[in-house]
């Protein structure tokens, strides 16, 4: 029995041999036929739901290959301050928000831009005290790598007088011997986020990779699941059917599996094991356990996540040269090289996939060293190891990425030329000669390096169409910045088929082919004829994951499709 058919569509299958179709049939959780409208129409039975797409585009469901689902979900309920460039604007928002929530344990603004604190001659701590002096208050940077906290939050978190930190994390101290409010990286800001109403459980897979201790109560578990459901609805509304999470612990795997058992999990999620630099390497055994226990169609593990460095904005990204405007630092390596190489060797020998955050060119080099070391010891295999972000890369490492079959996992909207974050001023974090090798999507793709696209939500909003626009129609920043733009089909490939392959799921989903999972998205227009610089405004009409409508359809569309 055919459950649903879509007719008269502009279907981009993302299958190289059969790139186009007009109609598609779904039976249960699978695509049961795809082809011409007349042939698919003939499959309709009395109970079949029929959608006339009327020329709208249908694509495989979008796969966002780098997100933080739990944090993204939690951020939907915290105070958004993204895009604000002036603390005066932040002040009024914060006061209104705090007034409305007298019981809130931590007033947390999220999505904050570094620009808020640039050029100020007062410490961030004092600036935040001047907004809210008497209750814990903090701002989380959009990139999730820095928190700015007021005195009350620093005191409550036990950081006011400084604290011992793992490599890569810093509680920045002021001349007065007290913390100045800048907390760099997870080790430093984890204790502040733990003050929030979620108890920091949403951040735990990112901060330590540990499970909640003490274990979450039944009420906390239910609250966390409700939070995740909100986030899942949010991503489904953006046409997403699969997520690759970039933080993880058993707790998240348990919550997602419970939602699946309850029939509520409207998206597929891959969850990694997060290995910290201070973890003994025996801890990798947890990744193997996760892989063994969670290997379903909707929730699965099998990957290790690590960090090699921080971010350019806070000068913690690891570069081969000192920062142009901060000559006393070239950033910080989170992992010592030998330790990292061993971690790669062991994880690779266990058959696990590895994904490592590396922003600076030296960080990228160190990660490649680790992958090379693993290959030397374990032999070549279909490992699909990945590097996250690659904001700067050297010429030599472009060749090494290719030789080692390493996947570039990049985020179109993070780029200097995406029009979201302010492009860096010349000679601040990047030398002029580095710009051509920064956010170098085109250069990497042209070398034949597999290129996966994602958002890193909540670093930038999870809406896929805006990211597609950033990739196909980036802003022109002038001579130092060569054109890295992507064609529409390249971009869509990097958001669908490539990402399915990247998670070893290419035989299950990622393109539209008979027998594969019924994961698809219908756009409210024809993407091929839509202006490239206006793609962000092309709405999502319908999302189907695992054969079930997860967004749009009857109610949302007012029944216009059937």
Q: Which residues bind Zn ion (CB under 5 A)?
A: 246, 456
Minimum distance from CB of 456 to Zn ion (Å)?
Answer: 4
Q: How far is CA 12 from the centre of its chain?
A: 25
Minimum distance from CB of 129 to Zn ion (Å)?
Answer: 30
Please identify, using beta-carbon distances, which residue of 342 and 456 lies nearer to Zn ion: 456
Please identify, using beta-carbon distances, which residue of 183 and 246 lies nearer to Zn ion: 246
CA angle 228, 234, 238 (to 5 degrees): 140
Please identify, using beta-carbon distances, which residue of 56 and 276 lies nearer to Zn ion: 276
Minimum distance from CB of 144 to Zn ion (Å)?
Answer: 7
Please identify, using beta-carbon distances, which residue of 246 and 540 lies nearer to Zn ion: 246
Give the residues across from 295 on adjacent strands. 300
Tell me if residue 419 falls in helix, strand or coil: coil
Minimum distance from CB of 143 to Zn ion (Å)?
Answer: 8
Max Cα-Cα span within the chain? 79
Minimum distance from CB of 235 to Zn ion (Å)?
Answer: 15
Burial per residue of 79-111, b for 16 or more beta-carbon CB atoms within 10 angstroms, e otherwise = bbbbebeebeebbeebeebbeeeeebbbbbbbb
**What does the alpha-carbon distance between residue 190 and residue 505 come to, in Å, rounded to a whole number?**
33
Q: Is 402 exposed, middle or buried (0-12, 13-18, 19+ CB in 10 A)?
A: middle
Minimum distance from CB of 454 to Zn ion (Å)?
Answer: 9
Taking CA atoms, 148 is separated from 206, 272, 277, in Å, by 18, 28, 23
Tell me if residue 234 falls in helix, strand or coil: helix
Q: What are phi and psi of 535, to 5 degrees?
A: -60, -25
Please identify, using beta-carbon distances, which residue of 32 and 353 lies nearer to Zn ion: 353
Decide: 484 and 453 in contact? Cβ < 8 Å.
Answer: no
Q: Alpha-carbon torsion 408, 73, 317, 430, what sign?
A: positive
**SS3 sequence, 294-361?**
CECCCEECCEEEEECCCCCCCCCCCCCCCECCECCCCCCCCCCHHHHHHHHHHHHHCCCEEEEEECCH
Give the residues across from 319 on adjacent strands. none
Minimum distance from CB of 418 to Zn ion (Å)?
Answer: 16
Please identify, using beta-carbon distances, which residue of 309 and 456 lies nearer to Zn ion: 456
Please identify, using beta-carbon distances, which residue of 32 and 242 lies nearer to Zn ion: 242
Decide: 364 and 390 in contact? Cβ < 8 Å.
Answer: yes
Token digits of residue 285 = 């055994």
Q: Alpha-carbon torsion 226, 153, 215, 291, what sign?
A: positive
Decide: 253 and 299 in contact? Cβ < 8 Å.
Answer: yes
Minimum distance from CB of 309 to Zn ion (Å)?
Answer: 13
Please identify, using beta-carbon distances, which residue of 66 and 445 lies nearer to Zn ion: 66
Give the residues across from 326 on adjacent strands. 323
E strands in 297-363: 299-300, 303-307, 353-358
Minimum distance from CB of 541 to Zn ion (Å)?
Answer: 29
Please identify, using beta-carbon distances, which residue of 82 and 324 lies nearer to Zn ion: 82
Per-residue DSSP letters for 68-90?
Answer: -HHHHHHHTTSEE-TT---HHHH
Tell me if residue 56 falls in helix, strand or coil: coil
**SS3 sequence, 144-159?**
CCEEEECHHHHHHCCC
Taking CA atoms, 377 is separated from 52, 282, 337, 348, 380, in Å, by 55, 18, 16, 9, 9
Minimum distance from CB of 320 to Zn ion (Å)?
Answer: 23
Torsion-angle region of 296 (φ positive above 0: left; ψ -120 to 50: alpha; else: beta): beta
Minimum distance from CB of 117 to Zn ion (Å)?
Answer: 22
Decide: 408 and 390 in contact? Cβ < 8 Å.
Answer: yes
Give the residues across from 480 on adjacent strands. none
Token digits of residue 387 = 């590097």
Minimum distance from CB of 307 to Zn ion (Å)?
Answer: 9
Please identify, using beta-carbon distances, which residue of 323 and 457 lies nearer to Zn ion: 457
- Local structure of residue 439 (DSSP, 8 states): S
Please identify, using beta-carbon distances, which residue of 125 and 367 lies nearer to Zn ion: 367
Please identify, using beta-carbon distances, which residue of 56 and 201 lies nearer to Zn ion: 201
Please identify, using beta-carbon distances, which residue of 246 and 273 lies nearer to Zn ion: 246
Please identify, using beta-carbon distances, which residue of 434 and 456 lies nearer to Zn ion: 456
Minimum distance from CB of 305 to Zn ion (Å)?
Answer: 9
Minimum distance from CB of 159 to Zn ion (Å)?
Answer: 23
């Amino acid at each position: 029995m055919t459950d649903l058919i879509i007719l008269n569509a502009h279907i981009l299958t993302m299958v190289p041999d059969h790139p186009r179709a007009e109609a598609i049939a779904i039976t249960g959780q699978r695509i049961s036929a795809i082809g011409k409208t007349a042939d698919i129409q003939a499959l309709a039975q009395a109970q079949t739901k029929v959608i006339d797409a009327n020329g709208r585009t249908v694509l495989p469901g979008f796969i966002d290959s780098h997100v933080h689902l739990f944090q993204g979900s939690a951020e939907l309920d915290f105070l958004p301050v993204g895009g604000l460039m002036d603390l005066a604007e932040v002040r009024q928002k914060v006061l209104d928000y705090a007034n409305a929530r007298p019981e809130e344990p931590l007033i947390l603004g999220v999505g904050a831009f570094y620009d808020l604190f640039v050029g100020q001659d007062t410490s961030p701590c004092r600036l935040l005290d001047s907004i809210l002096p008497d209750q814990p208050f903090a701002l989380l940077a959009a990139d999730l790598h820095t928190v700015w906290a007021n005195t009350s939050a620093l005191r409550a978190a036990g950081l006011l007088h400084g604290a011992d930190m793992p490599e890569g994390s810093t509680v920045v101290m002021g001349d007065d011997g007290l913390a100045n409010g800048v907390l760099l990286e997870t080790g430093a800001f984890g204790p502040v986020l733990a003050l929030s109403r979620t108890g920091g459980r949403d951040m735990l897979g990112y901060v330590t990779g540990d499970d909640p201790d003490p274990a979450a109560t039944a009420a906390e578990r239910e609250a966390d699941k409700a939070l995740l459901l909100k986030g899942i609805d949010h991503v489904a509304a953006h046409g997403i059917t699969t997520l690759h999470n970039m933080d993880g612990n058993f707790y998240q795997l348990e919550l997602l599996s419970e939602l699946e058992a309850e029939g509520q999990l409207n998206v597929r999620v891959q969850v990694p094991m997060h290995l910290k630099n201070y973890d003994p390497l025996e801890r990798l055994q947890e990744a193997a356990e996760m892989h063994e226990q969670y290997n379903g169609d909707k929730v699965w593990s099998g990957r290790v996540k690590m960090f090699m460095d921080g971010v350019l904005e806070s000068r913690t990204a690891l570069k081969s040269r000192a920062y142009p405007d901060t000559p006393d630092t070239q950033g910080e390596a989170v992992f010592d090289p030998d330790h990292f190489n061993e971690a790669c060797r062991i994880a690779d020998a266990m058959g696990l996939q590895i994904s490592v955050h590396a922003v600076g060119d030296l960080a990228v080099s160190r990660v490649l060293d680790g992958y090379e070391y693993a290959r030397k010891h374990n032999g070549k295999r279909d490992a699909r190891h990945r590097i996250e972000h690659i904001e700067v890369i050297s010429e030599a490492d472009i060749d090494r990425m290719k030789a080692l079959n390493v996947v570039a996992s990049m985020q179109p909207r993070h780029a200097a030329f995406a029009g979201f974050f302010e492009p860096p001023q010349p000679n601040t974090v990047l030398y002029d000669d580095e710009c051509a090798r920064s956010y170098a999507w085109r250069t990497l793709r042209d070398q034949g390096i597999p290129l996966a696209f994602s958002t890193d939500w909540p670093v930038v909003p999870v809406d896929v169409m805006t990211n597609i626009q950033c990739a196909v129609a980036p802003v022109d920043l002038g001579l130092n910045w060569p054109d890295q733009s992507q064609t529409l089909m390249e971009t869509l490939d990097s958001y669908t088929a490539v990402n399915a392959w990247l998670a070893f799921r290419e035989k299950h989903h990622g393109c539209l082919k008979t027998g594969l999972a019924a994961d698809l998205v219908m756009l409210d227009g024809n993407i091929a004829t839509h202006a490239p610089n206006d793609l962000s405004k092309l709405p999502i009409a319908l999302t189907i994951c695992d054969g079930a409508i997860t967004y749009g359809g009857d109610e949302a569309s007012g029944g216009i499709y059937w």
